Amino acid sequence: MAVGGATGRTPGRTGGGVRQPSLAQLRAFAAVAEHLHFRDAAAAIGMSQPALSGAVSALEDVLGVQLLERTTRKVLLSPAGERLAGRARTVLDAVGGLLEEAEAVRAPFTGVLRLGVIPTVAPYLLPTVLRTVRDRYPELELQVHEEQTGSLLVGLAHGRLDVLLLAVPLGAPGVTELPLFDEDFVLAMPVDHWLAGRDDIPREALRELDLLLLDEGHCLRDQALDICREVGREQSAQLATSAAGLSTLVQLVAGGLGVTLLPRTALRVETSGNDRLATGSFADPAPSRRIALAMRSGAARADEFGMLAAGLREALRPLPVQICGA
């Protein structure tokens, strides 16, 4: 029996019940535990840095333990933080699964679908994708996020994104790929280049050409470098010049700084009306890339995403690509 009006409550209890950490607090702590950097963690989950710091502090208050060791230069997990970080991620994964399951029991192709797409696909395929979704699935609210591959995969793993449209293979654990099509690369060059207009360019020509590339982080850059390695191009032969996007890269080519590889689906948008540009096709087998939808393995909406992939394959047939499974 309590004596002298004592409540018998312990710190961290309110109204007779145990205080519960919020999902926002757990999400903030899990992000900091992963990145060990407040700015990077805040960017990863779309939260402001002050809000993230406050959420972690509030979680420490609720749990009654110090989770982080903060210094002016870095963030470290405390021993308690090390023990609880995995628990926090398990809780978040379970809640994410619950929400996915609830979404799945509703009628397919309703509600929100968060689509991530890479920059070297978005301008060229989104018109077809958006038209297909609007015509076939009018009750589906599509939200599009254009980001580089690494960021998209993080968003998919953390539940910020539902499905991705990007180049594969990814080699990412826990991700299932639904191939859509293969497309050749075309060589873009100044109009007076000696390879202009040819349809039998050997891959080996890439050994000596002044090849312009996208910035680090773009999968198209990695694909171009892979092709160069296949033909024995020396790494020292790469130019320092690079660009953040294909449109800028094409303008550098038109200005005479070199040549570049373009996906065939990008040609109409990037080269039409520019009389300083020419293109050439590679001899068979031409270097190519594969574009696919990617989803979390075992996603609750897996059947829905499979139907979406089938619908996109049909809608993309008029493009200059080879539809997978055709």
Helix (H/G/I), strand (E/B), else coil: 161: coil
150-168 pLDDT, tens per residue? Answer: 999 999 999 999 999 999 9
Residue 290: C-alpha distances to residues 186, 191, 267 (Å)? 14, 28, 17
**What is the number of other CB atoms lying within 10 angstroms of the CB of residue 275?**
7
Question: 109-326 sits in which CATH class?
Answer: alpha beta
Helix (H/G/I), strand (E/B), else coil: 160: coil
Place 308 in a pLDDT band, splitting at 50, 70 and 90.
very high
Place 22 in a pLDDT band, splitting at 50, 70 and 90.
very high
Q: State yes or no: pLDDT of 76 exceeds 70.
A: yes
**111, amino acid identity:** G
Q: Domain ranges in the chain?
A: 18-103, 109-326
Place 14 in a pLDDT band, splitting at 50, 70 and 90.
very low
**pTM for this one?**
0.68
Closest CA to 187 of 206, 204, 167, 168: 206
pLDDT at 238: 52
Place 182 in a pLDDT band, splitting at 50, 70 and 90.
very high
Closest CA to 21 of 32, 8, 11, 12: 12
Say if strands 288-296 and 175-190 run parallel, antiparallel, or are unpaired.
antiparallel
Q: State yes or no: pLDDT of 198 exceeds 50.
A: yes
Nearby residues of 43 by Cβ (< 8 Å), 6 or more positions away: none
Place 210 in a pLDDT band, splitting at 50, 70 and 90.
confident
The number of residues in the chain equals 326
Burial class (CB in 10 A: 0-12, 13-18, 19+), 70: middle
Q: Does domain 18-103 have CATH number 1.10.10.10?
A: yes
Q: How far apart are the first and last CA of the chain?
A: 77
pLDDT at 237: 47
Q: What is the mean pLDDT of the chain?
A: 85
Burial class (CB in 10 A: 0-12, 13-18, 19+), 229: exposed
Q: State yes or no: pLDDT of 10 exceeds 50.
A: no
pLDDT at 145: 95
Cα–Cα dist 97/99, whole Å: 5
On whether the CB atoms of residues 81 and 127 are closer than 8 A, the answer is: no
Nearby residues of 2 by Cβ (< 8 Å), 6 or more positions away: 8
Place 241 in a pLDDT band, splitting at 50, 70 and 90.
low
Place 54 in a pLDDT band, splitting at 50, 70 and 90.
very high
Q: Which residue has the higher pLDDT, 263 or 207?
A: 263
Cα–Cα dist 262/183, whole Å: 10
In sequence order, what are the beta bridge partners of 178?
A: 293
Which region among 37-51, 118-132, 234-248 has the lowest average model confidence (pLDDT)? 234-248
